[in-house]
Amino acid sequence: MGDRSEFKPLESQGRTLTLAPNALVKDVEEVSPERLSMNDPRMLSAMKVLGCTVEDLASPTPPPMKKALGPGSPRKAPHSAETTKRRFELWERKRQELLMEVEAMASNFELSDALRILAPDMGAFAKEKAEQAVLRPEDGDNKIEALRAQAKAEAQKIVDDHRAKIQALAESAEREENAKKRVAELKGEKYAQLLERIKAREAKEAKKDERLVAHEKERKEMSRSLMKKMTGAFDKVQQHQQLTTENWAKARDERNAHMGDVLDRKSESQQFAQEEMIRLYKEKEEKIMERMDRKR
């Protein structure tokens, strides 16, 4: 298994957990049975079996949500305080459950079981240390060159990663700029279409107004013509009525005059008849008186 005085660091999500010498065997931290230390081999072996890391158990806050990048990605509204609180509570509950599960498994492990589970990591680390301890002096230059090459490769990798990130950001910015241009073009097209519709509607309204003005003008002209005709007809009616009234008055006067003549003639005729009757009566009386006188 190798020298247990040193142990290979455990890499987990960018963070490193390093155990002190003899930490796995001699210097195990004394803790209560209910709560084991994170440096305890039984805890480390339980985490290895369950596939979790120290950060999963020790992180006080949930990992940040990934933001969508690029113009084609869906945009989400910022999380409210209530949503963040519920997410934190859910994360904390899951963390506590995972911690209880790891502690329960670790409490069932013996120290030998834990060391057996961690043996591959310990063996590889011890082998590397042994190789470094027996390194020959003549291999120093080669080791230095190898380290230089490794450092150069790592530096080149950092540069390449940085260049890739810059390229990705540039492409993202270009996509965003293209999206903005496309949105502006669409807005311009929609604005132009809107202007065309407004102009068409205004032209339609103008033609409608012209038709209304022409119709109103025609209506007024017809109204004036009708009023003129009605005025002329009214004048004719008045003239006819006046003429009829004058004719009636003339006929009445003529009739009255005729009736006066008739009455005058009748009166004269009656008077002549009466006078004639009186004359005849007197003559008859005179004759009667003469006969009576002769008889005497």
For residue 131, the model assigns a pLDDT of 52
Task: State the Cα angle at 131 between 125 and 136, rounded to 5°.
Answer: 160
For residue 128, the model assigns a pLDDT of 52
Which tens digit of pLDDT belongs to each residue from 60-116? 665 555 554 454 554 544 557 788 888 888 888 888 888 888 888 888 878 777 777
- Between helix 41-50 and helix 81-108 the angle, nearest 10°, is 120
Which tens digit of pLDDT belongs to each residue from 120-138? 655 554 455 545 544 444 4
Query: Tokens 């004269």 sit at which residue?
Result: 268
Residue 220 has pLDDT above 70, yes or no: yes
The H-or-E segment that residue 151 falls in is helix 140-295
Is the pLDDT higher at 60 or at 244?
244
Residue 9 has pLDDT above 60, yes or no: no
How many C-alpha atoms does 170 have within 13 Å on its Cβ side?
A: 6
For residue 12, the model assigns a pLDDT of 36
Contact between 79 and 28 (Cβ < 8 Å)? no
Is the pLDDT higher at 69 or at 264?
264
Of 125, 108, 63, the residue nearest 88 (C-alpha): 63
Which tens digit of pLDDT belongs to each residue from 25-41? 333 333 344 567 777 88
Q: How far apart are the first and last CA of the chain?
A: 217
Task: State the Cα angle at 25 between 24 and 28, rounded to 5°.
Answer: 70
Which tens digit of pLDDT belongs to each residue from 177-190? 888 888 888 888 88
Task: Give residue 37's region: left, alpha or beta (phi > 0; psi -120 to 50).
Answer: beta
Question: Rounded distance, CA 152 to CA 144, Å?
Answer: 12
Contact between 107 and 41 (Cβ < 8 Å)? no
Sequence ranges of the domains in the chain: 1-136
140 — pLDDT class (breaks 50, 70, 90): low
For residue 210, the model assigns a pLDDT of 92
For residue 211, the model assigns a pLDDT of 92
Secondary structure of 261-276 as H, E, C letters: HHHHHHHHHHHHHHHH
Per-chain mean pLDDT for the chain: 74
For residue 193, the model assigns a pLDDT of 86
For residue 78, the model assigns a pLDDT of 54
For residue 212, the model assigns a pLDDT of 92
Contact between 7 and 24 (Cβ < 8 Å)? yes
Within 8 A by CB and 6+ apart from 57, the residues are: 38, 47, 95, 98, 99, 102
Task: State the Cα angle at 204 between 203 and 205, rounded to 5°.
Answer: 90
Contact between 17 and 43 (Cβ < 8 Å)? no
For residue 54, the model assigns a pLDDT of 78
Which tens digit of pLDDT belongs to each residue from 48-58? 888 787 777 77
Question: Rounded distance, CA 111 to CA 28, Å?
Answer: 10
DSSP annotation of 136? -
